[in-house]
Chains A and B, each alone.
Chain A
Amino acid sequence: MLYIQLLVDGLVTGCAVGLVALSFSYFYATTGIFHVAHAGIYTLSGYIALHFVKLGLPFVAALAIAIAVAAGVGAFIQVTLYARLEKRGASPLVKMIASIGVLTVLQNIVALTFTPNILQFDLPWRISLVHVFGIGLSIPQLILLIVSPLILFAMLAFSRWTPLGKRIRAVASNPELAETTQLHPERIFIYVIAIASGLVAVPAVLVGVDQAMQPYTSLLVLLTAIIAMIAGGIGSMGGAFVMSILLAVIQSVSVMLVSGRWSIALVFAVFIVFILWRPEGLFRRNFNRQI
């Protein structure tokens, strides 16, 4: 029974991390920018939702506002920072260091406007348990389990069949050709970062409701997500999502074998061995961007 509970816990965490991985991967595979600030947007959107719930808005409205703000901030970062750096021919390293700067700024703006301490949502339903096949799940966990796969399929469908999704794929596979064929990569990048940032607000808010929030914890979530993305093969949203769940389940079940305090170290150790053994990821994909 305990194993099943741990398995389900891992599944829930995996769904949340999966959405982070999927959204990071979408932007990274398109632009090649190592967007560490994604973790900052994760933090920010959780607190935005908290703020509007506190003001008395219904939860769904607060979530919608958080998604909108996240998308806006993402687009702002692209226009004011990444696009300018790109125009100046900055190296990927420079862009990433700037991104670390944005992450630091966002986290500390949150810490200053709210508090550096732990905060919880004031929602009575957040702790009520629903029993599914004898396993206790909180409502935010249940929402995560249902919504995350739906988002994955929606993103896959969007990418495959809609005109914008196709344009994004075209830009990702060949930016120079996309430039000459009037696809306007720089405009596409804004759409991509807005979509990715809006998406990351969903797990940020739901995990925030389920557990609690602190300004500085999001980097660890992002790193786990990036590990899943690399292991799943860069450019494959499905791979990133599946690997996130796998990693989270391993981490959750490993508590039975090693002390929980060491589980983060375990995941990273497994990752380092894995990446040395198979640098192209579990699901082979052509990703030959210069990195």
Chain B
Amino acid sequence: MNFFFSFLVLAEIFAVLALSTNLLLGVVGIFSVAQAAIMGIGAYTFAGLAIAGIPMPIALIAAIVLCGIINVIASLPSLRLAGDYFIITSFGIQLVATAVFINWSDVTGGATGLSGIPIVEIFGQKFVRAGPFLILSSIALGVVSLSFWLLMRAPYGRLLHAIRQDEIAVVAAGHRVLLAKVGVSAVSGMYAGVAGALYAAYIAFIDPASFDIHVSILAVTMVVVGGARTLAGSILGPLLLLAIPQLLALIDIPSTVVGPVRQLTYGALLIAFMLWRPQGIAGKSL
């Protein structure tokens, strides 16, 4: 049972990350392949502060705020650059972040990562096992989902959709596109911060490989497979994609090929969905 709960916790954490990616990629149409980097910043901030003995709620808030700010900075080039140029900047941000995680070893612990992240404790109750932690991650996903759902229904959400469809028309109608994009980048960054802090708290160990380009591409795959722009899509995607490694564990294959086989499956899924179902399982067309 613990095995299943553990899968659910991870799926929920990745659902938060998928929602972060979905906001940028699906809703406003800013392609981002750097959300894992932002999540990593959240995780390292949370872990570093928690290890230093700072109370966890404060560490969580610090991670969320920092990620919001950094995601806005990271998205700034997209305000000036059209489409393909920003894709490269986004790849660049991810690679630079990974380089920082590996090389700034005083803070991040370098390639070996950070371990010894304290256990979450609320009112004397320790959240060590997956079962109790599921409550925490469910609350987090619930809050993030609710905010996403409200955002999509608010006039602001409609403005975001309009920006994706015809930016020039939105400007002509007198709306402030710049402000809207900065706002949505901040929200998306905060989601990634939540995902990062949860991840660090749950796994209790983080290293640069947990937040590299493959994880960012995984987040994009989750959004694409689940379906862009919808809440259901961002929750379905992580559940399905994280189930694949579990299924692979059932088949008897050598442990060295598990990684490549999993990646291969994700790649094939990306191609298949783009070819035959670009709107994903429960989404709208990209």
Binding site for B on A (CB under 8 A): 34, 81, 84-85, 90-98, 100-105, 107-109, 111-112, 116, 219-220, 223, 226-227, 230, 259, 261-262, 264-265, 268-269, 271-272, 275-276, 279, 291
Contacts and interface: CB of A to CB of B under 8 A. Distances in A.
A264 B91 CA distance: 12
Given A101-B271, A104-B217, A291 B99 contact: no
B85 A275 contact: yes
B214 to A, nearest CB: 8
A34 B31 CA distance: 12
Contacts of B180: none
A108 B214 CA distance: 12
B142 interface: no
Interface residues of B, number: 43
Contact of B81 (A97, A111, A276): A276
Nearest to A84: B275
B271 A112 contact: no
B179 interface: no
A108 B264 contact: yes
Contact of B91 (A92, A108, A223, A262): A223
A108 B267 contact: yes
Contact of B275 (A85, A96, A275, A279): A85
Most buried by A among B93, B96, B267, B270: B267
Interface in B225-273: 256-257, 259-261, 263-264, 266-271
Contacts of B220: 97, 100
A94 B89 contact: no
B77 A272 contact: yes
Interface in B163-198: none
B119 interface: no
Contacts of B267: 100-105, 108
A230 B274 contact: no
Given A34-B84, A93-B286, A108-B261, A102 B100 contact: no
